[in-house]
Amino acid sequence: MIGSPDVVALTKEDDFGDSFTDPCSLPEEFSVPLFAHAANANPWTKTSYAKFSKDFILVSEFSEQVGPQPLITIPNDPKVCGTFDLNYFSLRIMSVDYQASFVGHPPGSNYPKLNFVEDSKVVLGDSKEGAFAYVHHLTLYDLEARGFVRPFCLAYISADERKIMHQFQELSSEFSKASEFLKSGNRKAFANELEKKLKDLEYTRLVLHKETELQKMNNGCYSTQAIEKANELANVEKSIYEHKDLLRQITSYPSRKKKDVDFIQQETEKPADMSVIDDTLNSHHSDIADKTVETESKSRKSSYTPQLIKAKSAKCFDKRLKTMEELCDASFFHQTLEQLNIIEKSFRGDLCLIYTSQIDRALLSKQSVTSFLFEAERDWEYGGTSKNFSISSNNPTVPILNLSGEPLSLDSYTTCIDVDHIKPGVESMEGPPESSTSDITQETSEAADTETKGSFSSDKSIEAFGGVSPSSLQANYFDGLERKSKVSIASPSENASSSVAVPQRTSDGNLVPMDAACCIGQDGFIFEEPLPELAQECCGDTVVNQEPLSFLQGDPALQVDYTFEESALAESPNMGLTFSELNTEEVAKINIEDVSDSTSFMSASTSSDRAVSLFTYGSALTLKQKKKAGHSALRFIRQYPFAQQAIFCLLSGRTLVILGVDEGTVRKLVNALFIFVPNLGKYGETVQPWLSSPFQLTDLQRWKLIGLQRAASPAGSSILHSLNRYSRYISILDCDNKTLRCPPYKGTLVSHLADHRTQIKRGSTYFLHVQGMLTQLTAKAFLYTFCHHIHLPMDINDQGSVTSRRTNFLLQLSYTVEESKIVHYLSELIKQHYIQGSSKGGNQSFCFNYTTSYLYKI
Amino acid sequence: MLRWILGGREAQGTVEKSAALFIGEEQPKNCFTEMQVLKGHFDIVRFLVQIDDLRFASAGDDGLVLIWNVETGDCLIELRGHTQQITAMISYTFIRGGNAHTALITASSDRTLSLWDPDSGNRVQNISDLQSPVKCLLVLVCLDVWLSGGNELCVWNRDFELQCKTVHHSDAGISAMVELPKNFIAAAMDKEIVIFKLNLSGSDIAVMAMRHLADHQDTIHSLIHINDGLFASGSHIGELIIWDSVDWTIQAYEHILWEEPARDGQSEFKLNHQKQIERSIQHMSSDGEYIVAAIGSGLYVYNVLMKSVVAYRRIAHDSNVLHTVLQRLMSCSEDGSVRMWELQDLPLPAEPASSGFFGMFGTFGRSSKQTGPPAKKIPEVPGLRSLELIGDLIGHSGAVQMFLSFKEKGLVTCSTDHLLIIWKDGEFQSQLRSLAVFQKLEENQEL
């Protein structure tokens, strides 16, 4: 962590005169614009006059039937928008600029022409509402829409005008990505639709042709019916021609964007999706009477039967307009939603925080030589199209940062939404895709049945929005989303009951009543916490994947258990609300994190080997996991007086074996200690959380932290034998006897890092503290590695002097002999990393020292 | 050692009886602080042969020959072809086109002999259907021929053409050979040493047995070349004979008896039993002046010129020592460890023999006190020095079969556990890496 937003925000303008320039100050491009420090105003009260609690993304449509209407908000939480009038705001943002794209019959042309227009991006402010928005307009094609075009807009709404202005470039580039997903999906769907329509038309032509022939045979050439039929036929012909032309236009869309890897992947990914869309498209072609056909075609899927259609399209208001998801290919739509979620996450929080994290990332990217040691690996930053980051603070045209990955440094702001966000990825992979879609289509067609078309008032749609209950948060996220995207046409009475539930839940909230979102966040968080890990752990294991779902759907006993554990484990003074004046939301969430730590430990110690663990092979470690580990580490330090020695072992590269009978306890300790393992690897490759077979010599090379089972079996004795055999290379932490056998450590460095009397209360704070210390250590190791004169021999027979110069250098850095080992080890890692590049291949050698170990007891 | 893991409170209260020496973990003189484990074999690795400054070959019971780079630890080439275990391997350097080429000759139980090119991995030559498996190989550089020893002795030229061979000897066959001056060869066959002469007449080579030296009482396990004038042989019952290379007379005869006969009568049976196992000379190596012999689980350093014992340690390892080297005195053993020794001068024997003796050997640690060397030997050998353990390398989980030193580049060990380990000087490697880093910085112009 490079900087803390709190510190930056509270920094005053230079009080000590201008003449002094701090030599250590950051270069101009990395400085954060200071908060305008007017009248000691609390910088976090700024949003108070806005009617929504935090920034959100609004997706709106200018419907040709009902006018501007909101479709989706991200985060998908009614509390975020609060009393903010989405309907009104949709009207405002849609009225700005949507006619930029013109489709239809241009003068001098006989048939409709598609205009591939660029999206428009504007900033819009509404001082009365206290809302400022970045508005991204785009148009999607719909064969049944007026002029084949459906205007949509994506808006990022914030109470902070400066945020919108300063982050315009980033917003624009991120929203362009989202828009591009939508549009490419739309082109695909539109082309499909056109093809179907063409088939229909050709079929109709065939039928008409036959009928005309028949008419001619029966009544002669010039009978009224015959002429009518001929006219109809001509109309169909013309329609075919027009549609063919449209198809040509849409397929000849400049494929410049296709170069993007994502798109290629998407195109090749799911051919099965096509059929699903076909069904939905099909069902909307004709009336509801065709519902039987729809279900039929669902069973067949692959083949499409052309239908007899009328040459003239139905009137505008006679039909239900396609939803956004139908307009785009489903996978593209989900990708868009994902992207929007990412945007929401990465721009969450104060402007200052965003700046800090951007600078953080920019700086980290420059430190690729050392950042692998303790920083979370972010290969999306280094890989491929690495841009040169240069941030200038006061210039609004900040170069575009690649924010497409997980916004790691913003995770302290995570809520239940985050958890949700991870989950659907798994489920959408595994769940049968038809089931949910078919549900939805049924639901919508039912809704279309009951509702008289076009009778929505704007109020109702808003109400429907407000009626999204927190319980739906706990349900399948995508289901929820899809439902919400249909909410505008669903009957409001359906939602009435669930909307009642909201105030009840808020009254439960024992934290900060003023912000109900927190409480909901907490509930959701605690119940769902183990989910992503479980889901990740057993990817593809459907049995276990079911488990959390049923659990979610509200087994009261389980929930009681959980709350019990929660209260039992809340013995640490973490729950204090002393920071409420700072940022209530964050405090609440941090508490939640801590509590969930404890619960996950509890479950880990009691349940089977499915126990919650941070380490699951194949899943990347997130910063969030590391922060939670901070909490465990804090507990470890308080509990074990020899924590410093254990941490010293890890830092100096000596493998630490945690030996115990109980898997839960061992895993708990592994979780507590893994943040101290240098070069942890993206997936925590250097840690083996649970091993029940004897380890080999090569394992010592691979793993620096091993959880080992102590068993009273023949296998167990061979495990002990291997421990004994390699005892000079390892340190052993015995969970059961609470002993540690390791080399002695004398020094202050690790005691700063792991002070058992530390005043730090919270896991995430402690994690940041550790990060800070480790960054400092890394900086020293960097200095040591790249200091020219201490490593290069003066002449050929000069090995001895190099050694002494090295030793002296480390002594000058005021490191003791033991601490020198840490720096030395880090330095070796840096060297190896630099020489070999980031590739982990090759046969690594394994360094060790010949030192006596001692047995430490509690 | 196991006790504290099992929860015992007395950590290292009692040293197990079998433990010969315990040096502890503080080893300031042990520079090997880095190891690299090489995987590739599927069975016991028995042979290591150096090819050049950078490469070495390993071979073993899986019939595979692997070529490794000692600096990176990469396996460069796999030589596949033998269907059974490899019984002997030697490097063969010859001049072709003005350049020296090094090839490998391997012999296997599948009765084949192969010549390999370690650069390309090709099996350049192959001879199969030999009458008996080859147990040892010897290259005579001056004649540019090489010899294989099994039940008979065969002489081959560079192109793998059989030049001549001896008649069938015995079932025991030739277990070791050394080159003697004037185209003579000494070969160990069970209890005898047979001297062969290679007669060169034009391009033809003939081999004939010259003499049988039958002075050993038991099977000869080890036969080495000491210097131009001497060679040595060691037998199963601890007889060490130094021979003159020219006239094949005995220069020195040592019968190494670890146990003093009838020193303590109550354990006579046990001692007799032990004798049979522990006195066997499994391996010897020499630098021309000294011989180090692996005798049972002990080590024995002999000065050839002075014809006297320099130092010895009856129990140097927990079990039999398999390989030794004198330059940097090391030994490896069936107990899976490699130990490094240092010859240290004993304090002047001014004090009375008995107390001085126990004082001296007290430094060896508890175990050596219990089984201290025979006191009577001290006055016999005035120049006796002590063998001090300065470090051990623990890594293999099976017997360490052999090791090969690349000087400052490291030490390679091979073992029954199918692994090879390169032990390196951590400090030196670190400096090398620093140099590599600065070199890369310079290349990338990041300096």
* Partners of residue A820 in chain B, C-beta under 8 Å: none
Could B39 and A698 be called an inter-chain contact, meaning their C-beta atoms sit closer than 8 Å?
Answer: yes
Reading the block at residue A629, the tokens are 């580990």
Q: According to the per-residue pLDDT averaged within each range, which of A10-19, A363-372, A646-655, A758-767 is highest?
A: A646-655
Taking the CB of residue B188, how many other CB atoms lie within 10 A of it? 27
User: Could you tell me if residue A575 is inside a domain?
Assistant: no
**Among the ranges A432-441, A446-455, A815-824, which has the highest mean pLDDT value?**
A815-824
Judge whether residue A358 has pLDDT over 50. Answer: yes
Q: Is B73 in Cβ contact with A850 (below 8 Å)?
A: no
Q: What does the pLDDT read at residue B233?
A: 93
Q: How many domains does chain A have?
A: 2
Q: Look at A848 and B34 and tell me if their CB atoms are within 8 Å.
A: yes
* Contact criterion met (CB < 8 Å) for B34 and A846: yes
Cβ distance of B431 and A802 shorter than 8 Å: yes
* Mean pLDDT along residues A483-487: 37
pLDDT band at A577; cut points 50, 70, 90: very low
CB distance A688 to A613 below 8 Å: no
Q: Which residues of A touch B427 (CB under 8 A)?
A: 803
**Residue B103: inside a domain:** yes
Residues of A in contact with B38 (CB under 8 A): 843
- Do A548 and A419 form a contact (C-beta atoms < 8 A)? no
Same domain (yes/no): A173, A228 = no
Three-state secondary structure call for residue A693: coil
Provide the residue count of chain B.
Answer: 447
Q: Do A785 and B74 touch (CB under 8 A)?
A: no
Which are the contacts of A686, defined by CB distance < 8 A and separation ≥ 6? A677, A679, A680, A702, A703, A704, A705
Domain match, A246 and A174 both: no
Interchain pair A792, B438: CB under 8 A: yes
Q: Is residue A231 part of a domain?
A: yes
What domain range is B135 assigned to?
Answer: 38-258+276-344+382-444
**Contact assignment for A723 to B30 by CB distance below 8 Å:** no
Give the Cα separation of A112 and A460 in Å (integer): 35
Note whether B135 and B173 are within 8 A (CB).
yes
- In this structure, the answer to whether residues A69 and A163 fall within a common structural domain is yes
Residue contact B36–A845, C-beta within 8 A: yes
**For the ranges A135-149, A236-250, B201-215, B411-425, the one whose mean pLDDT is highest:** B411-425
To the nearest whole Å, the CA of B69 is away from the closest chain A CA by 11
pLDDT (mean) for B174-192: 89
Domain presence at residue B439: yes
Q: Do A698 and B37 touch (CB under 8 A)?
A: yes
Residue among A799, A842, A850 minimizing CB distance to B30 = A850
CB-based contact A728 B25, cutoff 8 Å: yes
Q: Do residues B94 and B101 make contact, with C-beta atoms less than 8 angstroms apart?
A: yes
| Closest-CA distance of chain B to residue A832, Å | 7
3-state class (DSSP) for residue A262? helix
Same domain, A80 and A223: no
Of B397, B430, B437, the CB nearest to A834: B437
Q: What is the pLDDT of residue A509?
A: 35
What was the pLDDT predicted at A235?
A: 87
Confidence of residue A839 (pLDDT cuts 50, 70, 90): low
Q: The sheet that has B45-50: what strands, in order across it?
A: B45-50, B55-60, B65-69, B75-79
Q: Residue B171 above 60 pLDDT? A: yes
Residue B386 resides in a domain: yes
A593 within some domain: no
Looking at per-residue pLDDT, the higher value among A423 and A223 belongs to: A223
Per-residue confidence (pLDDT) for residue A377, from 0 to 100:
54
What mean pLDDT is predicted for residues A777-788?
87
d(CA B224, CA A526): 76
Torsion of CA A15, A17, A19, A24, to 10 degrees: -20
* Residues of chain B contacting A848 with CB distance shorter than 8 Å: 33-35, 426
Return the structure tokens found at B281. 């000379």
Q: Would you say residue A166 lies in a domain?
A: yes
pLDDT-based confidence at residue B107 (cuts at 50, 70, 90):
very high
| Per-residue H/E/C for chain B | CHHHHCCCCCCCCCCCCCCCCCCCCCCCCCCEEEEEEECCCCCCEEEEEECCCCEEEEEECCCCEEEEECCCCCEEEEECCCCCCEEEEEEEEEEECCEEEEEEEEEECCCEEEEECCCCCCEEEEECCCCCCCCEEEEECCCCEEEEECCCEEEEECCCCEEEECCCCCCCCEEEEEEECCCEEEEEECCEEEEEEEEEECCEEEEEEEEEECCCCCCEEEEEEEECCEEEEEECCCEEEEEECCCCCEEEEEECCCCCCCCCHHHHHHHHHHHHHHCCEEEEEECCCEEEEEECCEEEEEECCCCEEEEEECCCCCCCEEEEECCCCEEEECCCEEEEEEEEECCCCCCCHHHHHHHHHHHHCHHHHHCCCCCCHHHHCCCCEEEEEEEEEECCCCCEEEEEECHHHCEEEEECCCCEEEEEEHHHHHHHHHHHHHHHHHHCCCC
B436 and A847 within 8 Å at the Cβ level: the answer is no
Give residue B381's pLDDT.
52
**Are A725 and B440 in contact (CB < 8 Å)?**
no
- What average pLDDT does the segment B348-352 reach? 46
More confident residue, A746 or A529: A746
pLDDT of residue A679: 84
* Interchain CB contacts (distance < 8 Å): A and B: 110
Residue at B8 is within a domain: no
CB atoms B5 and A724 under 8 Å:
yes
Q: How far does the CA of residue B65 sit from the closest CA of chain A (Å)? A: 19
Q: How far is A673 from chain B (nearest CA, A)?
A: 21
In this complex, the residue of B25, B72, B421 whose CB is nearest that of residue A850 is B25
* Domain contains B129: yes
Using CB atoms, which residue from A739, A844, A853 is nearest to B25? Answer: A853
**A191 in a domain, yes or no?**
yes
Domain count, chain B: 1
Residue A470 contacts residue A500 (beta carbons within 8 Å)? no
* Nearest-angstrom CA–CA distance, A399 and A42: 30
Are A847 and B421 inside 8 Å of each other by CB?
no
DSSP letter (8 states) at residue A367: T
Residue A244 domain-assigned (yes or no):
yes
Q: Note whether A792 contacts B424, CB cutoff 8 Å.
A: no
State the pLDDT at residue A754: 85
Residues A182 and A211 in one domain: no
The Cα–Cα gap between B324 and B326 comes to 7
Residues in chain B with CB shorter than 8 Å from the CB of A850 are: 25-28, 30, 33, 391
- Mean pLDDT score across all residues of chain A: 65
Higher pLDDT, A253 or A14: A253
> Is A213 found in the same domain as A190?
no
The complex scores an ipTM of 0.81
Please name the residue of chain A whose CA is at the shortest distance from the CA of residue B73.
A843
Residue B169 in this model has a pLDDT that exceeds 80: no
CA distance A725 to chain B (A): 8
In a domain, residue B20? The reply is no
Chain-chain contact of A831 with B436 (C-beta, under 8 angstroms): yes
Mean pLDDT of A474-478: 38
Q: Are residues A184 and A206 in the same domain?
A: no
Residues A63 and A190 both lie in one domain = yes
CATH number of the domain that B394 lies in? 2.130.10.10
Distance of CA A148 to the CA centre of its chain: 34
Q: Which of A693, A821, A843 to mutate to test the interface with B (most CBs of B within 10 A)?
A: A843
A403 pLDDT more than 50: no
A315 versus B326: the higher-pLDDT residue is: B326
Nearest to A318 by CA among A363, A357, A287: A287
Residue B89: pLDDT above 90? yes
Q: Which of B1, B5, B26, B389 to mutate to test the interface with A (most CBs of A within 10 A)?
A: B5
Q: How confident is the model at residue A513 (pLDDT cuts 50, 70, 90)?
A: very low
Q: How far is B5 from chain A (nearest CA, A)?
A: 7
Q: Given pLDDT bands bounded at 50, 70 and 90, which one contains residue A694?
A: confident
Does B13 fall in a domain?
no
Residue type, B394: I
Would you call the peptide bond into A78 cis, given omega within 30 degrees of 0 as the criterion? no
Which of B32, B437, B439, B444 is the best substitution to test chain A (most A C-beta atoms within 10 A)? B437
Q: Which residue has the higher pLDDT, A744 or A625?
A: A744
pLDDT at residue A405 tops 70: no
Question: Can you give the residue range of the structural domain that contains A225?
Answer: 202-251
Q: Mark whether A246 and A152 lie in a shared domain.
A: no
Tens of pLDDT, residues A269-321: 334 334 333 343 333 443 333 333 334 344 334 456 677 776 555 444 556 77
pLDDT at A255 (0 to 100):
54
Q: Are residues A73 and A176 in the same domain?
A: yes
Q: Which residues contact A842 (CB under 8 A, 6 or more apart)?
A: A836, B72, B74
The dihedral sign for the CA sequence A756, A760, A761, A766: negative
Mean pLDDT, range A826-846, rounded to an integer: 77
Smallest CA–CA distance, residue A756 to chain B, in Å, is 26
Nearest Cβ partner for B5 among A723, A845, A849: A723
Element (H, E) at A140: strand A131-141
CA nearest B391 in A: which residue?
A: A850
The pLDDT tens digits for A192-217 are 888 988 898 888 888 888 888 887 78
A132 and A177 housed in the same domain: yes
Are residues A334 and A186 located together in one domain of the fold?
A: yes
* Range from A27-41, A56-70, A412-426, B325-339 carrying the lowest mean pLDDT: A412-426
In a domain, B134, yes or no: yes
- Among A74-78, A344-348, A354-358, A691-695, the range scoring the smallest mean pLDDT is A74-78
Chain centroid, CA B230 distance in Å: 19
CB pair distance less than 8 Å for B26 and A848: no
Given a cut of 50, whether residue A456 has pLDDT beyond it is no
Give the distance from residue A684's alpha carbon to the nearest chain B alpha carbon, in angstroms: 22
Residues A238, A244, A248, A250, Cα dihedral to 10°: 90
